[in-house]
Amino acid sequence: MKHIMIGGVLEASEMALGCMRDCRIPFEDAEKLTLTAYEEGITFFDHADVYGFGASEEYFGRILERNPGLRNHIQLQSKCALIRDTEKTLAIDTSKEHIIESVENSLKRLKTDYLDTFLLHRADTLIEPEEVAEAFDILHSSGKVRYFGVSNFKTMDLMFLQSCLNQRLIINQMQLSVAHTELIDPTASIQLNEIDNVDRNGGVLTYMRMNKITAQAWSPFQVRFYGGVFMNDDGYPRLNAAVNRMAEEKGVSPSAIAIAWILRHPAKIQPLIGTTNKERLKDICTASGVELSRLEWYELYSATLYDEGRAQIGNSNPKPAK
């Protein structure tokens, strides 16, 4: 698998394994999944304190214990800020105390001395950036966190926080798939419906490229926020037809084409693969060897716009915008 430089400073595999659902499968299967990922060339593993309320990190810690030496060859990432019950997010906490406590607990569960990267999971309306800066400084100087980042931050929130930090933010994790294109829409010029020319995220991807902040793409197969995958979704006939044709032409699966579409972007976006099926994981990893041309990339993007009624490409009677 190819490697990229995260934030220009941390070398890692161009795909990462998202470990949110690990605790929902038997431990032995989670261990096989992790080792399969590593064998396929994945070195970057994404966690958060709320994934299984710590259970997924505990699984991974046991895996590291049972596989001595593995920690030296991988990068571990965790996140904090969400305060949840079993059904919903109750609050967001980016206080100094919560950040430090969360890292300490993640390190214990993961059975490691340090995190390669640590992110704030969501933007916090009540954020006190000076507290975040102090927490980050303590964690960095103690050697417990090497690099920092955020998740789901728009441009101004990202700029504001960075202006108060001594540590450089190197990651912003956001939702992106070929059927959920909000992250890249502001940079496109082929959308024809006026409403879709509205910039909803402040051109965050362009800002990130300017400042060497790596985008990580979560839910790289989903239609919308936890809205199901686009493959075999009747609402995306044109997209599925194009993906299936390219998959057949290139001798890979539709899943590999969906990931190759993300990898083709020059921002070097790192997709987070969340499957718990090791055979599906192997299949998805073949995307690292797939090259999409400009025409193929734009064909898939245009197909999504067409299916969603957001563009009139090749259609004399477009559907209304959603």
Residue 320, helix vs strand vs coil: coil
pLDDT at 195: 56
Please report which helix (H) or strand (E) contains residue 44, including its range.
Answer: strand 44-46
Residue 43 CA to residue 34 CA, distance in Å, equals: 10
pLDDT tens, residue by residue, 169-215: 999 999 999 999 999 988 776 655 555 555 667 789 999 999 999 99
Q: Please give the residue that has the higher pLDDT: either 316 or 227.
A: 227
Torsion of CA 200, 206, 207, 210, to 10 degrees: 180
Q: For 234, phi and psi rounded to 5 degrees?
A: -65, -15
Using CB atoms within 10 Å of the CB of residue 213, give its burial: 0 to 12 exposed, 13 to 18 middle, 19+ buried. Answer: buried
For residues 289-312, average pLDDT: 91
Residues of the chain with pLDDT > 70, as a percent, come to 92
For residues 235-241, average pLDDT: 96
Is 117 within 8 Å of 6 (Cβ atoms)? yes
Tell whether pTM > 0.85: yes
pLDDT tens, residue by residue, 132-174: 999 999 999 999 999 999 999 999 999 999 999 999 999 999 9
Is 183 within 8 Å of 308 (Cβ atoms)? no
pLDDT at 185: 86
pLDDT tens, residue by residue, 68-106: 999 999 999 999 999 988 778 899 999 999 999 999 999
pLDDT tens, residue by residue, 244-278: 999 999 999 999 999 999 999 999 999 999 999 99
Domains parsed from the chain with CATH numbers: 3-227+267-289 (3.20.20.100)
Alpha helices by DSSP H, 234-285: 237-250, 254-263, 278-285
pLDDT tens, residue by residue, 43-69: 999 999 999 999 999 999 999 999 999
pLDDT at 227: 72
Token output for 17: 């394994």
- The closest alpha carbon to 122, from 209, 205, 218, belongs to 218
Residue 31, helix vs strand vs coil: helix
For the chain, the residue count is 322
Residues noted as catalytic: 51
